[in-house]
Amino acid sequence: MSGDSTASGGAPEPDSRPAPSEQPGPEERTHPEGRRNLEGIRIDPVVEAEHDSRRAVISALVEDEPGVLARVSGLVSRRQFNIESLTVGPTTVESHSRITMVVEETDPGIDQIEKQMAKLKPVISVGEVAGDAVTSELVLLKVRGEDPAAVQAVTEMYDGRTVDAGSETVTVELTGHKSAIDNAIAAFERFGIVEIARTGPTALARGNTPTAPGEKPGTAGEPTTHDS
């Protein structure tokens, strides 16, 4: 063949691979660091090292595609990270949504979550929300209604509102910061909590700071994109 250097008269290319006698033995070869989890995914040893866990709010701007929420939550759970809550909702752009995820992880773990999520095709922008962000969550709380006046007093104390009242139960709606919600729930426990539905926090950065790093907010229907 014309492309064969030997057939055309040229000298064959020297083999750069080491001879078998020069190759390292099994005990001398380098081995990947870190153990594998149940799915066979190798865990970064830096992530698994001893670090103090902390609570972080991660915001991801995503394109609306079927199964995008399942892909994000599945990715995080496969790597055995601890998700405290996950919410999703629309943005100013019709075809985009914002996912807000609260995790309890080490700094290397949080960094890994951001890097892995950024690899997903529907994810436009992702990052930890600044610590002084505006955060709020919603809870619906159904309690026993033997003392409706007392229930109403506690509801007003925490700036809530009654959304349903019957002869046996009263359902109230509360919004606010996690600590305020925790305190309100503790106050309602004396009445007997029947059911509870809690969304987990959602968040936006203050002022002109992008909620997700690199995010360029869309206005007047313009697409939301990475900031160049």
What are the φ and ψ backbone dihedral angles of 179, each rounded to 5 degrees? -65, -40
Overall residue count recorded for the chain in this entry = 228
- What string of pLDDT tens digits covers the 228 residues of the chain? 544 545 455 566 666 666 666 666 666 666 555 555 544 555 666 555 567 888 899 999 999 888 888 888 888 878 788 888 898 988 888 888 999 999 988 899 899 999 999 999 899 999 999 778 899 999 999 999 999 999 999 999 999 999 999 999 999 999 999 899 999 999 999 999 999 999 989 999 988 888 887 776 555 444 455 444
- Residues 103 and 176: their CA atoms lie apart, in Å, by 19
- Residues 202 and 206: their CA atoms lie apart, in Å, by 13
Strand (E) or helix (H) holding 114: helix 107-118
- Could you read off the pLDDT of 118-145 as tens digits, one per residue? 999 899 999 999 778 899 999 999 999 9
pTM equals: 0.68
